[in-house]
Chains A and B, each alone.
Chain A
Amino acid sequence: MSTTVSSSRPGKPQPGANGTDTRAAAVSAKPVTWKTPLLLTAFGLVALVFFGLLAPSRTASFGISTGSDFFQLPALEVNAFAGGLVLSILLLGLAAYAVFLRTRDRQVPGWLTVAFIVLFTAAFLIWVVGGARTPSISLAGLIAGSVTLAVPLVFGSLSGVLCERVGVVNIAIEGQLLGGAFTAAIVASVTQNPLIGLLAAAVAGAVVSMVLALFSIKYLVNQIIVGVVLNVLVSGVTGFLFSTVMQEDSDRFNSPPGLDAIEIPVLSSIPIIGPILFRQSLVGYLMYIAVLVVWVGLFKTRWGLRVRAVGEHPQAADTLGINVNATRFWNVTLGGAVAGIGGSFFTLVAIDSFTKEISGGRGFIALAALIFGRWNPFGAFFAALLFGFADNLQSIVTIIGTPVPSQFMAMLPYLVTVLAVAGLVGKSRGPAASGIPYVKG
């Protein structure tokens, strides 16, 4: 899914390119556009007006420690007005620096965007909590919940990374998650062993992926079509079997034993970090491992170099003796297995039974996280965390009662993604050959 931001489209030149041929610029160097600086400025102003000037002068309190912690830290208390003002001025400072860089024809560095997002989120959080009926939330709970909600998203977007890096667009993440969730539930119920359920979920995800690979690589069917159709197919098959098999005898087929959280003594009691790093289910720990392994694998090993070569320039890779289509097939399969494990999170960790459409569109959010994270495992991980955060915040703010309707909070990840693909995160470019089938000769 190449979301090339540098417009190779005809007609309008990029704003600020001032008539220079952007296509030529794209060839010679990365085009430096006004887009990011302007967007940052706009968001900085929004922050100043809403989070700063219009913020209520109340104290927002963020609990850091929970009762079970190793040592207690006092709750963080911020005046919403002052906090919002300070943060929005910092945001405008960052935006001004981006504008300054643009005037020197320099690219906006990645750290700047990241810092901007973090500060903006903080300002937003203070504003939301400050305006709530009960202006107090547990930061620890918010973050821990975000990580939990992000687990399937991370696995899904890792699956996307593995597939797209090798040149196959994976729209079927949703189907892989759903297939994994279903299989994990039924196998774990029958065997009464969650570990076997976990394995079966990986196999199910891989099977869905193999269909994707078979049709898109062997039969050269458009990859997006196969992905879309596979989502429907998996939804239909799991829905059918849920109604006919699981509901008939839910004790036997739909009551999987769950994977409990494994606590690492002492470490799990560190405030904030403890619960997210050292009090996770097996799937949660696997998530951290998977992110690391995929990153190391893709960028530090020979296998990864080959994978990326196939995804960027299959002809060249073929010339050098890499079997393009076999590489693609097995990578897509691997990606499916990863997403399948993510799917098992729904039925083995989060909820202890399967229901229809349990993945609820999270496969598409994972897809968004993948793009937002620029096809990088770590980027995808943090993007998924951000989406998990928005998801969790939505349910928390409905409890504490805020000025923002919860529907808008729920809308946030999607709006952010639209902004991301439209160019906020600078140039987001996918693997060059992603989505293009390779025919030798």
Chain B
Amino acid sequence: MPEKHPPKHAANRPGNTQEATSADESTAAVVSVDTAGGAMEPSAVPATAQSGQLPGGPDTLLRRIFTGSGMVSVLAVLLALIIGGLLIASTDERVATTGGYFLARPTDFLTAVWDAATRSYIALFQGSVFNPRGNSVAAQFAPFMETLTIATPLITAGLGVALAFRAGLFNIGAQGQIIVAGILAAWVGFALHLPLGLHLLLVLVAGIIGGAFWGGLVGLLKARTGAHEVILTIMFNYIALYFLRYLLNTPAFQRPGESNPISPVLDPTAVYPQIFGTQYRLHLGFLLAIAATVLVWWLLNRSTVGFEFRAVGANPKAAQTAGINVSRSTILVMALAGGLAGMSGVAQVAGTEKVLTDGVAATYGFDAITVALLGRSTPWGTFAAGLLFGAFRAGAVQMQIQTGTPIDIVLVVQSLIVLFIAAPPLVRAIFGLNPRRRKPARAAKSREAATTGGAA
């Protein structure tokens, strides 16, 4: 498989200048993809660009829509859902029994497969967006509020990961950053007793500082010693987790009279107010997540610092030559990423949990990576991806209750979505959307374009 396309490159090379340029472009794209730490920079995401530059003349509008990157994202989600559905169906009992007489009555089998998959997905939808069986309008939209609640920490942590991606850093440490933020925020929340407003503000600030410290430490180590941030962040996740477990066994953090590792409940003045009343868990943190998205958008697209981040991400050597302090950028971007993840920690302790346990970060830190990848590291993309994965999470609980489909299916669908989105040529090949050959004479070129699309 891997040896297929290099010879093609080589064979097609001589005597075609246009093609040479396209190959060079693709190599350039590859380089930028690599240094950016992932194929998520819009400029480095080549699907549209590549298919837009097909040497076969202008494509029809319809075809362009279908081969464009937006469509690839939709198809990737669809494909992941189909594979997830097949996995659900494969363990379904009725599918197994009807499969026994598949040759006699194939329709039975196919209906069973369809039923098994759709039943789960309908439950997923009802658990995450709209429940028609609710008694009132408020109850019918309760799932959607739950989705927004779960999306809140996903969005802010995802923004942290995305911001680091854009600066070419792979921040796997959102988990640890959430934990450290949670520790500080929770401590301020239950140990200090301050007036309304000020207390919550202090909780938020403490959390952000905690996350920023933990992230910035990685940035500092990376800038000073050149140690790889992936290893550092993975290790820092564990260090934070064990530190939290230690703290929860000390008198300063453990709830008095409690033998379990659990902290006292945060003061009422220290928790986020619920936006739409006490019937929904949705809290102020969601509005702050929107604000954070706007802030990151502004930072990346409108500010000098953001420009420096992106320059460092695209090509650190060039950025350095241009007079950008790469070390400073590395430390700063990791601190900012940690601060954003810290907001997730605050959302957990001051929003939904209201106590500190060793499960404070749940798996939000790791999910944040997939959220950022799905959002292609753009602020609003991450926001949308956070909502989608929040919906998966919220719906999965209902799905498990109603149909018995384990929550783990969400992990499968999530990871498949990210995998497929990262490899547009694969998705297009599966749906038969690779640029078709217009004329026999140009056939070789079209194929070449398809492979370079794959290359980049």
Contacts and interface: CB of A to CB of B under 8 A. Distances in A.
Interface of A: 1-12, 35, 171, 213-215, 217-222, 224-226, 228-230, 232-233, 235-237, 239-245, 323, 325-326, 328-329, 356, 361, 364, 367-368, 371, 405, 407-408, 410-411, 414-415, 417-418, 421-423, 435-437, 439-441
Nearest to B248: A407
What band does the interface of chain B fall in when counting residues whose beta carbon is under 8 Å from A?
35 or more
A325 B6 contact: yes
Interface in B159-216: 170, 172
B239 A423 contact: no
Interface of B: 1-6, 9-10, 13, 23, 26-27, 30, 33-34, 37-39, 87, 91, 170, 172, 221, 223-228, 230-232, 234-236, 238-239, 242-243, 245-246, 249, 320, 325-328, 330, 366, 369-370, 373, 405-406, 408-416, 418-419, 422-423, 425-426, 454-456
Given A221-B39, A418-B236, A441-B6, A408 B415 contact: no
Given A219-B426, A411-B238, A233 B1 contact: no
Nearest to A417: B235
Contacts of B30: 220, 437, 439
- Name A's interface SS: helix
B243 A440 contact: no
Contact of A12 (B230, B327, B405, B408): B327
A329 B419 contact: no
Q: Which 9 residue pairs of A and B lie closest in terms of their CB atoms, listed nearest first?
A: A236-B411, A239-B408, A325-B2, A243-B406, A407-B246, A233-B415, A440-B6, A219-B423, A236-B412
Contacts, number: 208
Contacts of A441: 6, 9-10, 13, 23, 27
Contacts of B223: 9, 11-12
B409 A218 contact: no
B249 A405 contact: yes
Given A225-B38, A423-B225, A439-B27, A219 B422 contact: yes
Contacts of A9: 223, 226, 326-327, 330
- Name B's interface SS: helix
A236 B409 CA distance: 6
A222 B236 contact: no
A308 to B, nearest CB: 19
B242 A408 contact: yes
B230 A171 contact: yes
Contacts of B423: 215, 219, 221
B181 to A, nearest CB: 19
B91 A222 contact: no
Contacts of B411: 232-233, 235-236, 239-240
B235 A225 contact: no
Contacts of B230: 1, 171, 224
Contacts of B330: 9
Given A7-B226, A9-B226, A367-B234, A222 B34 contact: yes
A208 to B, nearest CB: 12
B228 A229 contact: no
Nearest to A245: B91
A432 to B, nearest CB: 14
Nearest to B87: A240
A222 B39 contact: yes
B225 A218 contact: no
A407 B242 contact: yes
Contacts of A225: 38-39, 373, 418, 422
